[in-house]
Amino acid sequence: MNETEQLLEQVTDRAHNSAHGHGRPLPAPLGSGEITQAEGILGFALPPLLTALYTRVGDGGFGPECGLLSLSETLRSYEAHRASGWRWPEGVLPIADFGCTMYACVDCRSETAQVLLFDPSLGEPDLAWSVDTPSLAGWLRGWLDGTAWFCEESGLGEECDLELEPWADFRSRI
């Protein structure tokens, strides 16, 4: 079993255990046709790991904070952000709502599917984007082992002052 398969197995176990603990069922996984349809709407492909999460684990509802958005919520959020006054970079999908207008987003053009943090409360568009984690796999591992900044187990809590690296590619992608 390769690293990706092991990660998917761990995410699946945690997602199912969390869903049962909260008394709500995990949304059913999507079919490949639903992914293809979404990619047609977006005009770009989803990273393989994100596709696997949606088709093998479930259509959102698991993961950090309130969990991954469902694919339909992701599409709506992407379109809403692109239509808003913010200059939204192409190929960047919001995947998790962290509240207070903050979103975890996946850069679908990055080979590693890096995870970006969008925080418009910082004012300027250039300041609103930072690199949360260099890869979607690393972001998921941080959630699984409790070391990510957004995990209660990390000890950083809500008072933490994040010093994330600004996303250098923002200007070239708008």
> Which residues are registered as beta bridge partners of 104?
96, 117
Question: Domains in the chain and their CATH numbers?
Answer: 3-173 (3.40.1580.10)
SS3 79: helix
Q: What is the pLDDT along the chain (174 residues), one digit of tens a residue?
A: 799 999 999 999 999 887 654 567 889 999 999 999 999 999 999 999 999 999 999 999 998 878 899 999 999 999 998 888 778 898 999 999 988 888 999 999 999 999 999 998 877 777 889 999 999 999 999 999 988 877 655 444 444 455 788 898 888 888
Q: What is the pLDDT of residue 16?
A: 86
Instruction: Say how far apart CA 152 and CA 56 lie, in whole Å.
Output: 27
Contact predicate 132/117, CB 8 Å: yes
In angstroms, the first-to-last Cα distance of the chain is 39
Number of residues that make up the chain: 174
Question: The whole model's pTM is what?
Answer: 0.89
Closest CA to 114 of 56, 47, 57: 47
Q: What three-state secondary structure class fits 134?
A: coil
Residue 153 corresponds to which tokens in the numbers above?
């187990």
- If we measure between CA atoms, which residue out of 102, 105, 101 comes closest to residue 115? 105
SS3 at position 153: helix
Q: Report helix angle 3-21 to 136-145, nearest 10.
A: 50
Asked if 27 and 61 count as a contact pair (C-beta separation under 8 A), the reply is yes
Of the candidates 91, 151, 87, the one whose C-alpha atom is nearest the C-alpha of residue 125 is: 87
Would you state the pLDDT for residue 156? Answer: 44
